[in-house]
């Protein structure tokens, strides 16, 4: 930043320094990444994911994990749990953690995600069942359902809308009447 000469000395300490350090993670060993505990953990996870090695001991270094804030650790766990890794091996890795608080936190996050997955599965199952019911009702009433109408019903994500359409499929006099409700 160019400062007027007479203001340069008093203002120089307030001018931000925008230097940065470029790290080539690909060239660094997984265990040799520099930074704060949180920074090191996230860099290890990012590098390990690219190497398809999220269960690596270096990623699960308890001396590092216990140094990061619990909320941060739980976010990292959510990220790891969402990755394409063997869930059985992951659970074994979590169970091998020696620090009870760290292990408990990891198990809690894993349970939360399992519960969320079950709820999503139930909701998706209910949506699928409603979609099928609407299409079955239309086929029973009108013998066949045009592909465009079938795709429109299949694309719906709202349970209440699908329930209303099921009633409409049963009551409609024509396919056109039903389609107007979409």
Q: Taking the alpha carbons of 159, 161, 162, 167 in that order, is the dihedral positive or negative?
A: positive
Residue 127 φ/ψ, nearest 5 degrees: -60, -45
pLDDT at 116 over 60: no
pLDDT value, residue 97: 85
Instruction: Identify which of 96, 33, 63, 99 has the alpha carbon closest to the alpha carbon of residue 45.
Output: 33
- Positive or negative CA dihedral for 23, 27, 32, 33? positive
Express each pLDDT in 123-155 by its tens digit.
677 788 888 999 999 999 898 899 999 999 999
6-11 CB contacts, 8 Å cutoff, 24+ apart:
none
Mean pLDDT of the chain: 85
Domains of the chain by residue range: 27-98, 120-180
Q: Tell me the two tokens of residue 121.
A: 């599965």
Instruction: Flag whether pLDDT at 90 surpasses 90.
Output: no
| pLDDT digits 0-9 by tens, 29-83 | 888 888 899 999 999 999 999 888 888 899 899 999 999 998 898 888 888 888 8
For residue 43, what pLDDT is reported? 92
pTM recorded for the entire structure: 0.51
């Amino acid at each position: 930043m160019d400062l007027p000469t007479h203001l340069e000395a008093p203002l120089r300490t307030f001018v931000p320094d925008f230097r940065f350090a470029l790290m080539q993670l690909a060239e660094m060993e997984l265990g040799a990444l520099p930074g704060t505990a949180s920074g090191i953990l996230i860099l290890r996870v990012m590098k390990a994911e690219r190497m398809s090695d999220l269960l690596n001991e270096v990623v699960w270094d308890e001396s590092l994990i216990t140094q990061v804030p619990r909320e941060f650790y739980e976010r990292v766990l959510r990220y790891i749990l969402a990755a394409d890794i063997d869930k059985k091996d992951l659970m074994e890795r979590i169970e091998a953690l020696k620090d009870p608080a760290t292990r408990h936190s990891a198990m809690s996050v894993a349970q939360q995600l399992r519960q969320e997955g079950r709820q999503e599965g139930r909701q998706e199952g209910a949506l699928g069942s409603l979609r099928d019911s609407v299409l079955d009702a239309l086929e029973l009433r009108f013998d066949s359902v045009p592909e465009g109408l079938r795709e429109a019903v299949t694309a719906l994500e709202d349970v209440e809308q699908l329930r209303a359409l099921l009633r409409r499929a049963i009551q409609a006099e024509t396919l056109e009447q039903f389609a107007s409700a979409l």
